[in-house]
Amino acid sequence: MSWRINILGSGAIGGLCAAGAHKAKLTYRCFVRQDRNPLRYAEGLDGQITTLEYASNDSYPLGDTDLLIMPLKAFQLEDALRQWQGKISLNTPVLLLHNGMGGVELARDIIPDNPVLLATTSHGALKLNADTVKHTGLGATMLGMAFHHPKAISLQHQLTPIMEACIGPVTWRDDMHNALWQKLLINCAINPLTALANVNNGELAQASYRPTLQAICEEVCLTAQACGIFIDAKSALEQVLNVIENTAENYSSMHQDIAHKRPTEIDAINGYVVKQAQKKGIDVPVNTQMLLAIKAL
Ligand code: KPL
């Protein structure tokens, strides 16, 4: 059975997925909204340029062996899910790939019968201009089910190799929610600080940022624990420092959004932590400060 991969949007991570599918000779097409330019080129870590395939601005019905990948911003997801909900069969797997939280709740609400997968990636990517994306840092991707589905095991076997080609290396996680909280922690620490200070990720290795990074990690860990997810604060800070080192040359997605005057994902990142903390009666002053400072920009 040959899968057709459908990639939504014109974002940097979607561009990486398309380039990976192209190089592996998989069948894929990219869809963008009517008013948006499609991505045309992807520059690999080795400098090699891939010319991407592009379907059209018109979405068309997707069947059971069409994988729909949604590498969108968290705030674009609701509209996109509503737009595609009538165009996909109930068996079409939908893969959410965004920073921050909130996608699972939307998918459960809008496409409750479809198999929904979640992915989170630490690959770095940058849009050089409207039609070119550049792979800026080698990362890894975690993949798992968003919620229970009877076909979960066969989907794991079918879709892991596909995603491996698109944006590997891929690790399948049965505890995807833990993985998402770990990525949330990294985004809470790196994204607002780089955007506010107008620096690349590597700058955050300076000692002056350490107390803020540590406070963010501690607050996120406390909130995660109250939500039933255990992340140790010490290893959390170590993880953040590792990502800072491995993506030192990258500008975070929030830095890029602020620099291009685009809406940010702050509500799904630090905003999500602040909301969960409020529900649990936990004080998270540094995450609140990040949220307010980014909103004020
Ligand atoms: O996910 C990222 C982002 O920029 O959104 C990190 C891991 C921080 C890499 O820049």
Res. 139: pLDDT tops 80: yes
Q: What is the structure's pLDDT at 33? A: 81
pLDDT reported for residue 145: 97
Per the residue annotation, which of 23, 73, 183, 295 is the catalytic one?
183
Q: Residue 4 pLDDT more than 70? A: yes
Burial, 282: exposed, middle or buried (Cβ in 10 Å; 0-12, 13-18, 19+)? middle
**DSSP H helical segments within the chain, as ranges?**
12-23, 77-85, 103-110, 152-167, 176-197, 210-226, 233-246, 253-259, 270-280, 285-296
Res 211 pLDDT > 70: yes
The pLDDT of 199-205, averaged and rounded, is 97
- The residue-averaged pLDDT of 107-115 equals 97
pLDDT tens by residue, 267-280: 999 999 999 999 99
Q: Which residue has the higher pLDDT, 233 or 111?
A: 111
The CA-atom distances, in angstroms, between 102 and each of 114, 234, 265 are: 17, 26, 11
Q: What is the pLDDT of residue 1?
A: 62
Q: Is the CB of 239 under 6 A from ligand 1?
A: no
DSSP class of residue 206?
S
280 has catalytic annotation: no
**Residue 188 pLDDT grade (very low, low, confident, very high; cuts 50, 70, 90):** very high
- Residue 140: pLDDT above 80? yes
Distance of alpha carbon 225 from alpha carbon 256, whole angstroms: 31
**Phi and psi torsions of 8, nearest 5°:** -90, 150
3-state secondary structure of 205: helix
Q: Which of 12-16, 246-250, 251-255 has the lowest mean pLDDT?
A: 246-250
Asked whether the beta carbons of 43 and 132 are under 8 A apart, the reply is: yes
> What is the predicted ipTM?
0.97
pLDDT, tens digit (0-9, with 9 covering 90-100), for 84-93: 999 999 999 9
Stretch 87-112: mean pLDDT: 96
User: Quick one: what percent of the chain has pLDDT higher than 90?
Assistant: 89
Closest protein CA for atom 6 of ligand 1: 252
C-alpha span between 283 and 264 (Å, rounded): 24
- Going from the Cα of 190 to the center of ligand 1, the distance in angstroms, rounded, reads 7
Q: Domains along the chain?
A: 4-174 (3.40.50.720), 177-296 (1.10.1040.10)
Measure 78 CA to ligand 1 centroid, in angstroms.
22
pLDDT in tens, 5-54: 999 999 999 999 999 999 999 999 999 987 888 999 999 999 999 999 98
Q: Which atom of ligand 1 is nearest to the CA of 139?
A: 7
CB-CB contact of 123 with 141 (8 Å)? yes
Do 145 and 116 contact (CB within 8 A), yes or no? yes
Res. 210 pLDDT band, cuts 50 70 90:
very high
Predicted local distance difference test score (pLDDT) of residue 35:
81
Q: What's the rounded Cα separation, in Å, for the pair 33 and 83? A: 10
Peptide bond into 211 cis (omega under 30): no
Residue 93 to residue 214: CA distance in whole angstroms? 38
Distance between CA atoms of 131 and 59, rounded to whole angstroms?
20
Ligand 1 within 6 A of 250 CB? yes
Tell me, what's the pLDDT at 184?
97
99 lines ligand 1 (CB under 6 A): yes
* pLDDT higher than 80, residue 57: no
